[in-house]
Amino acid sequence: MRSDPADYELIAPGNLQAVLSLLADEPSKWLPIAGGTDVMVLYAAGKLPKRKLVSVWNLPELRRIEISPDEIRIGAGCTYTDLREHEIIAREFPLLASAARWTGGIANQNRGTLGGNIVNASPAADSLPALLVYEAELILVSGRGERRVPYLDFHTGYKKMKLAPDELIRAVCLGRRFSNYLHYARKVGAREAQALSKVCVAALGRLRGGGAIDDVRIALGSVAPVPLRLTEVERIVKGRPVEPELVQLTRKMTSAAIQPIDDIRSTARYRSAVAGNLVAEFLQQLRGSGKTV
Amino acid sequence: MRHSSEDGGKDDRGKCELSLTVNGKPETVRVFPMERLLDVLRQELGLTGTKEGCGEGECGSCSVLMNGELVNSCLIPALQAAGATLTTIEGIAKGPQLNALQAAFLECGGAQCGICTPGMILASCHLLNKKPEPTLEDIREGLSGNLCRCTGYVQIFEAVEQAARRKASA
């Protein structure tokens, strides 16, 4: 059943401080809404339990991209279009730019935000594996102040995360240290646009002079209750040359490390096979990439 | 068009006054802040050219331009459109003079049942504003959020190419 707008409250204080004091006064009562690409879908379906919403759309404090020599700091309210059109993101963090391009159509990219994608916490979200491999850090803000936390273990279970009821994500920080890495991203879905992933992968890697793997980071979406970093697989392959046996082992380990399910979009068996194939493809590309320390 | 009588005297508290510019005309409406922009356009302002398809941001039938950006009006709460400048399909033609895109859609057979057409035109308009000389790939991407179940898309892409060519030579 469609929701009745008369049952809902929405206010737009227009600045971050005012939003934070609202959240501080009545934590858990208010649901922040940015571009609405997830919240309004639940609302339209009559599945939005919280009745008080506060707009964080286009808050100037959240819509900046700040560049320093070591780091890029992306405001949580930046849209996918903002990410796609940013030259440094396109050049140094292409996995994030690709994910932004894959998410929805242009209209959704004009409204959906990076912070919204994180807190919506869909295991199928395309930008989240990219944030895992770039080892993003989040700046969380509340009336009590700011704290900086690694994104790596931010999600603790399906739609659960380490975010207090009075907190917002203020920014996502990415270290500018991946210039000599191979950046690999692939999404497998029913069609290229407007389709949620059956499996998506983001990976980074580089080799040593002799061809052994110096460093890899691999993350997958749509294969577990949370976006998943394959730390165990990474540990095993580091220091070894990319040979057919290693690729085969990695394929098996990937399938063992994930917990895919059967759902409307795909089956666990298909996801498991595809996830293994994609990780194998990444390693094969890494071997021929010439990306060395 | 104003639907206050249809509310059956339902409590008006909680409504807000919203000023916006639609197709160049200043408008003020009294609506609930969580009313969808789509419903404000169709029911409050009588602009029924903007269609509802899926109601969840996947089909693009309700596409409009808000401050020059393509958006799905079904996903915009009215309050977030406060002060905005909107263009809907009703604002595309200049009086009786069709816009180049509208003319090209007619000539190329880019419309059949018509439900997706307003959204297709608005998305194409947004694309040509950003990229006046789009490649076929640009067109496919620019319209990737707009679904059509009649045409198979080819005629629509041809229409956008034709409109771009005409604009370039105009």
- Class at the top of the CATH hierarchy for domain B5-91: alpha beta
User: Which residue does chain B place closest to A57, by CA atoms?
Assistant: B80
Closest CB from B31, B70, B76 relative to A36: B76
CA distance A6 to chain B (A): 6
pLDDT of A164-173, one tens digit each? 999 999 999 9
Instruction: Choose, out of A110, A191, A192, the residue to mutate when testing the contact with B (most B CBs < 10 Å).
Output: A110
Closest to A25 in 3D by CA, of A153, A144, A194: A144
Residue A147 pairs in a beta bridge with: A140
Tell me whether residues B76 and A44 touch, CB distance under 8 A: no
What is the C-alpha to C-alpha distance for residues B106 and B155, in angstroms, rounded to an integer? Answer: 10
CA angle A233, A114, B121 (to 5 degrees): 120
Question: Chain B interface residues facing chain A, Cβ-Cβ under 8 Å?
Answer: 10-11, 14, 31-36, 55-58, 60, 63, 69-72, 74-77, 79-80, 82, 123, 126-127, 141-147
Token pair of A144 as six digits:
């009590």
Please state which CATH number belongs to domain A62-175: 3.30.465.10
The neighbour count for residue B98, using CB atoms within 10 Å, is 14
Instruction: Choose, out of B61, B129, B144, B160, the residue to mutate when testing the contact with A (most A CBs < 10 Å).
Output: B144
What is the C-alpha to C-alpha distance for residues A195 and A102, in angstroms, rounded to an integer? Answer: 9
pLDDT of B53-83, one tens digit each? 999 999 999 999 999 999 999 999 999 999 9
Question: Chain A interface residues facing chain B, Cβ-Cβ under 8 Å?
Answer: 3, 5-6, 8-12, 33, 35-37, 40-41, 43-45, 53, 55, 57, 81, 104-108, 110-111, 192-194
Domains B5-91 and B100-169 share a fold: no
Taking CB atoms and an 8 Å cutoff, what residues of chain A touch B29? none
Domain chopping of chain A, boundaries: 5-53, 62-175, 182-287
For B7-34, what is the mean pLDDT?
88
Please state which CATH number belongs to domain A182-287: 3.30.390.50
- On whether the B100-169 domain is CATH 1.10.10.60, my answer is no
The neighbour count for residue A239, using CB atoms within 10 Å, is 11
Beta strands in chain A (DSSP E): 9-11, 30-33, 52-55, 65-67, 71-75, 137-142, 145-150, 155-157, 160-161, 168-175, 182-189, 197-207, 213-221, 228-229
Taking CB atoms and an 8 Å cutoff, what residues of chain A touch B57? 37, 40-41, 104, 107-108
CA distance A189 to chain B (A): 14
CA angle B58, A31, A223 (to 5 degrees): 55
CA distance A20 to chain B (A): 19
* Mean pLDDT, rounded, of chain B: 93
pTM: 0.94
- Is the dihedral angle over the CA atoms B133, A113, A227, A31 positive or is it negative? negative
User: Which residue does chain B place closest to A10, by CA atoms?
Assistant: B33
- Which phi and psi (to 5°) does residue A188 adopt? -115, 115
Q: How high is the pLDDT of residue B9?
A: 45
User: Is residue B3 over pLDDT 60?
Assistant: no
The count of residues in chain A is 293
Predicted interface score ipTM higher than 0.85? yes
Domain chopping of chain B, boundaries: 5-91, 100-169
pLDDT of A188-227, one tens digit each? 988 777 778 889 999 999 999 999 999 999 999 989 999 9
Closest CB from A3, A10, A192 relative to B33: A10
- The amino acid that residue B168 corresponds to is A
* Mean pLDDT, rounded, of chain A: 95
- Residue A207, judged by CB atoms within 10 A of its CB (0-12, 13-18, 19+), counts as buried
Are the C-beta atoms of residues A59 and A14 closer than 8 Å to each other? yes
User: Is residue B10 over pLDDT 60?
Assistant: no
Closest CB from B11, B60, B63 relative to A6: B11
Token pair of A63 as six digits:
């819509």
Q: Give helix B100-108 / helix B117-130 axis angle, nearest 10°.
A: 130
Instruction: Choose, out of A2, A3, A10, A81, the residue to mutate when testing the contact with B (most B CBs < 10 Å).
Output: A10
Taking CB atoms and an 8 Å cutoff, what residues of chain B touch A111? 71-72, 75-76
Taking CB atoms and an 8 Å cutoff, what residues of chain A touch B55? 44
Closest CB from A11, A36, A193 relative to B145: A193
Closest CB from B35, B63, B145 relative to A104: B145
Percentage of chain B with pLDDT > 70? Answer: 94
Closest to A104 in 3D by CA, of A198, A169, A38, A40: A38
pLDDT band at B7 (very low <50, low <70, confident <90, very high): very low
Q: How high is the pLDDT of residue B1?
A: 41
Domains A62-175 and A182-287 share a fold: no
Closest CB from B10, B34, B70 relative to A43: B34
Structure letter (DSSP) for residue A2: P
pLDDT of A2-28, one tens digit each? 899 999 999 999 999 999 999 999 989
User: Which residue does chain B place closest to A35, by CA atoms?
Assistant: B76
pLDDT of A42-80, one tens digit each? 999 999 998 999 999 999 999 999 999 999 999 999 999
